[in-house]
Structure 1
Amino acid sequence: MTLSTNQITRLSVGVAILLIALKAFALGASGSVSILASLADSSLDLIASLATFFAVRWAAAPADADHRYGHGKGESMAALVHAGLVFASAVFIGWEALHRMFDPRPVTGGPWAVGVVVISIVVTALLVWLQTRSVKASGSIAVAADRAHYTADLASNAVVLIGVVSGAFLAAPGLDAAAGLVVAVWLFWGAFGVLKGAGDQLLDREASDADRIALTNAVLSDPRVGGVHQLRTRMSGSRIIAQMHIDLDRTLSFEASHDIVVAAEDRVKAAFPGADVLIHADPRGPATPAVPVSPLA
């Protein structure tokens, strides 16, 4: 089952709300700093998922007079918000964990806390699986950023589970605080990856080598195209924007050259749906001497 970007963002918001409710209950029952860390993370998940929900819809809007390249970079903006919220969450959790390491507090209600964490792991794993399928189908950077956070949540929930079990059943609340600190470091690292991906798009980093090779091969599949040069690419959301020059036989008519260029653009759009392609034709082969023209002719 593959969900659309709109469907997967709605599901992400619903999962965040469910996890917040479960973890708030577990925190009240246990007082665990690991649960507190996970609850703070899920609260920011909700904000980030809402940002993704609206960004995906805005990014899907067609190009207009003010945004000739479309609105795809709205997804990158949402990813930046996502990264900032995760950074804030990591700082808060790290500070609280360090405080609890020097001032340990007992963890109560262990069975309830463990049950909530196990349910959180199962629900999050299902969401990540669905997001992965959606990203493969759509290439959405906003959904990919949301998936990166929930993937980190999987690992952090496993650490939280260790912390809760240690604090509730092994009488070692210090380990619970240490688990919260591990979650903070993990979130910080995940946020850095999301920030880099969003920054690459906003700063017009070239598309991946694999995409550039596939794009070039699509153009060169016509034997009349002698070569590709001055290739420039960038991403706008999941849409690739490409400009290039191609070499064509200088004896071709203007109309024939135009038809070859249009066919090349169509092949690129078939390989990269929604692509924005601009191709300039350059004559190749030995140049013929220019014939002087009299200004009075």
Structure 2
Amino acid sequence: MTTPPSSQFGQSLTGTWAVWALVMGIVALKVFAARATGSVGALTALTDSIMDLLALGLVAGAGRTMQTLASDARIRRLKGSMVMAAGAFMALVCLARIIQPVPLSGGFWGPGAALAIIGLTLGLAWLRGRAAAARPSGVRGEVRDQSIAELAAAGVLALGLVAGVLLGAPALDAAAGLILAIWMVWGGWALIRTADDTTHAGAPTLVPGTPPVRRGPWG
């Protein structure tokens, strides 16, 4: 599993408007891609981002109250449960679309939005890398692994949209969504499994004001 950046690195990104502009831009593009094409892969990716934003709200709320290991563990379990439930639901939706494909629409708008998502994700990776440049090599490696995982997810979304819209194979778009849904379930389970990890050696770092770390079956 990909190890997340440390809390110190996360704090260095707190209040960075450029980072949050990119994050919200990625979410907006996922909304556009899902609406323009009817892509279940884009909808799954959007659901993943919404779960991240909800978790960010929980972390920010916890930051304004007493921070204890018990409250941190509760947040991990809550986020993990939400992500697993959302991932399982989207997996069923994607399986239904694989069995009974629904043609996608939107022309080049959907794939174009997916390429834009990759571009913004690259920009986000660059900002994170720049912020971590002065950190120890271990932290830089963690940031690199996180960026690779996010780019992999964006690439899966783009391939699904290209196959579904331009190649007329909506079942492949649903398959891409299924991959992302499995990633969500895997990441949610990782949060629950490591909820009581007091060292956080195997658990995603929860930092107020920063995008939650993505976890997946790769890395």
Q: Considering the TM-score relative to the shorter chain, is it more than 0.5?
A: yes
Q: Which has the higher helix share?
A: 2
Specify the code of the residue in structure 1 equivalent to 2:115.
V
Query: Structure 2 regions of 5+ residues with no counterpart?
Result: 1-8, 137-141, 208-219
Answer yes or no: is 1:158 the counterpart of 2:164.
no
Specify the code of the residue in structure 2 equivalent to 1:37.
T
Hey, what does 1:183 align to over in structure 2? 180
| Residues 56 and 75 in structure 1, CA contact (< 8 A), matched pair in contact too | no
The structure-2 alpha-carbon separation of the partners of 1:119 and 1:74, relative to structure 1 and needing over 3 Å to count, comes to farther
| Residues 76 and 195 in structure 2, CA contact (< 8 A), matched pair in contact too | yes
CA distance in 1, matches of 2:17, 2:79: 16
| Residues 29 and 113 in structure 1, CA contact (< 8 A), matched pair in contact too | yes
Counterpart pick for 1:130 among 109, 128, 131:
128
CA shift, 1:187, in A, is 1.7
Answer yes or no: is 1:192 the counterpart of 2:193.
no
CA shift, 1:44, in A, is 1.5
Q: Which structure would you say has the larger Rg?
A: 1
Hey, what does 1:104 align to over in structure 2? 101
CA distance in 1, matches of 2:78, 2:200: 22
Query: Structure 1 regions of 5+ residues with no counterpart?
Result: 62-69, 138-143, 209-236, 239-297
The structure-2 alpha-carbon separation of the partners of 1:152 and 1:191, relative to structure 1 and needing over 3 Å to count, comes to farther
CA shift, 1:116, in A, is 2.0
CA shift, 1:186, in A, is 1.6
TM-score (norm 2): 0.68
The alignment's C-alpha RMSD in Å is 3.5
Q: Which has the higher contact order (CA 8 A, sep 6+)?
A: 2
Hey, what does 1:288 align to over in structure 2? none
Hey, what does 2:55 align to over in structure 1? 48
Specify the code of the residue in structure 2 equivalent to 1:97.
C
Specify the code of the residue in structure 2 equivalent to 1:130.
R
Cα deviation, 1:224-277, whole Å, max 9, x if unaligned, reads xxxxxxxxxxxxx89xxxxxxxxxxxxxxxxxxxxxxxxxxxxxxxxxxxxxxx
CA distance in 2, matches of 1:5, 1:81: 26
Residue identity over aligned pairs, in percent, reads 30
Hey, what does 2:32 align to over in structure 1? 25
CA distance in 2, matches of 1:86, 1:19: 19
Hey, what does 1:221 align to over in structure 2? none
Counterpart pick for 2:113 among 102, 116, 133:
116
Larger mean CA deviation between 32-41 and 186-195 belongs to 186-195
